Chain A
Amino acid sequence: MLQKYCFFKSTIGRKQLVALTGLILSLFVLTHMAGNLLILVSPQKYNEYAHSLVSNPFLELIEWVLLFALVSHFIIAMKLQINNFKAKPQAYARSGQGKKGTDPVSQTMAIQGLLILVFIVLHLITFKYGTSYEVNYGTGPMRDLHRLVVEVFHNPIYVGWYLVALVVLGLHLKHGVKSLFQTLGFNHPKYQCALQVFALLYAIVVSCGFIIQPIYVYFIFQN
């Protein structure tokens, strides 16, 4: 194919890859959030769910897909961002007012992305590769993830850091989910309004759903 028509080189093509990988990642955070809510049911259900995940033979494949989506989402988006900085080498002395001003959430997507990346790395270290306690509910030994979660979220510093990161994740989703439809070509007066509401609700549900866990453990759950 002619070089200049290469999909992966064009800004729109790359944006569409960011949108597609973003779609995978946003579906993942929704399921992750829903699984976390089992903490409200019982420690046993929580651990059993975690165990059923790690013992699923497809988990490794899914993990690779997610890692690939995350890395490509990040790299392509950052490359686009650098390109955008180059395209606008000088800022205005004043910023635009009202609708002619850029909303701060969409303006800081790259910074949010960086923060979320740092969060994900630390989060994996804390939990996925953290202390592995053991528990037995009569069906053989399994990891007592619940105990680790309780331990971690009794530390107010962790709770605070998670709150910040999860609010940023919510903001990132608010702009990201709305944008991914636009970037993939969905925008029509018939459903545009519904899409915007959907994106907002999606961000609120995921972000608040995640926030429930540290808050619940810190303030309500007693051993």
Chain B
Amino acid sequence: MKEVLIIGSGISGLTCAVRCAGLGMHATLISPVSSERAQSVMAAGGINAVTAECEEGDSVACHIEDTLKGGGMIAGRNAVTGLCGHAEEIIHFLEGTGTVFTVDDNGRPVVRAFGGQSHKRTHYCGSSTGKQIVSALIMEARRFEGEGLIDRKLRMYFHSALIKDGECYGAILYDEKSRSLLPVFADAVVIASGGQNALFGKTTGTTLCDGYAAGKLFLQGAELKNLEFIQYHPTTLETAQKRMLISEAVRGEGGRLFYEDNGKRIYFMEDIYGPKGNLMTRDVVSREIDRIGKDVFLDISFLDKKLIDKKIPEVRDLCMKYRGIDISKEPIPVSPSVHFFMGGLAVHLNHETNIRNLYAAGECASMYHGANRLGGNSLLAAIYSGNTAADDISGRVKENGHPDFSRTLKEEQDSLNGLLSSKSSFSVMHIRDMLSDTMRKNMSIVRSGITLKEGMDDIDYYLSVADQIHFDSSESIYTNYSLPAILTLARAAVTCALSRHESRGSHYRSDYPETKDDLAYATLISYDNGAYTTRPDKEKIYEN
């Protein structure tokens, strides 16, 4: 039986495991904590698909065009066609596994509008779409666990991949229970470790998504893509513990953005872009808020209180609980914050990276969203990519045996032991904090060559310190060993941003404000012995 090792148990990892098991393979699903704690449970607004429930005039072709257009025309048409073409099937799969969608009186799912869409096609589960999907997928995984086809293992972290001559044979995991490294051999490894939030400190998501796996694999020879494209969500609420997302559903239900000028409300998005202005894509709205430079509010108080209670109760509760704001009476103060990463591991249509038998799925992979992701498309992509990777692995001929990795293992264990036996009062978290300050400042909504170069200098300094510091025993071992790869990923992201001499989607350069037709390509970046090399994907080697 084929063995698949899946790193990360959010929606993408869970889907991949379930699909693998359904195809008669054995999947080992590892993560530090259970799926209930994955960022996927935070997805509120919904999942896009053109189904029988959608408005007249909508079609898969419209979904494809909206996705390509929203993404600044640099996502591959073939990839997006696959994604949108399978969306209906995915909704049916989720319904079939028992996901509790919001339904009409006939029991059919209802749809809402999300930004950048020509038609309403976002299916949702109250205000907790991700959570409801995770709950259903966990049950599916449990079913296959009972059949011996899935093993879910907790308190395990990715350490590195077992790669020889461009082929992956498994991974080294860090096992928190035994505090040691564990080699796991597999016919294929699927990375489903989520986004790169920790580069920016606290974002709308969880800091458990730290980008380490992408950074480490980059050091091991995997190509990364489009790291300059980072989505700032325009409507987040500042609280004492983090910035919290105010779901796009509020604007979907008619919410209006405004600022005050001499006591008068200026509905700037409507003034600039017309009646549908509030639902412009996230990059456009974030940039407008940034440009205005004043306190901006989102108003939904005009909506009938019963509708607020029915359609957006989680937003109502969040504003009340963390800020004492009654959204049925007063507007919500909002500002943009880092929310989603369009960039990540470069993958082919089958979700394999440039390293054979090493796949990436979900937010850690860069594929469908181009320069900007449409709301509701990432849950879809997380599921579609998990399925696609599983299908491809299943179609491969099983190879037997693997090279001898005992030397690699010994070297890695020695290096970890060396780290553990050193002592230092210098905190890993201080460097992580400094990194997030740099990234927030220098990789912000509006960038320039100057700010990016400053950012690069900062990161180079942190990297030089990271090599010197010793083990910080009051942090977890994983937090200690993950630092250099996280810094490397940050450096790669800044390098990508520096290399793109134009503005497109979420990447806006004040020194290159125009979008240039001859730069309508994805950015690829690779690492070799300290050298970071970028190139535009002109041949579309990954996207077609």
A binds B: no
Residues of chain A whose beta carbon lies under 8 Å from any beta carbon of chain B: none
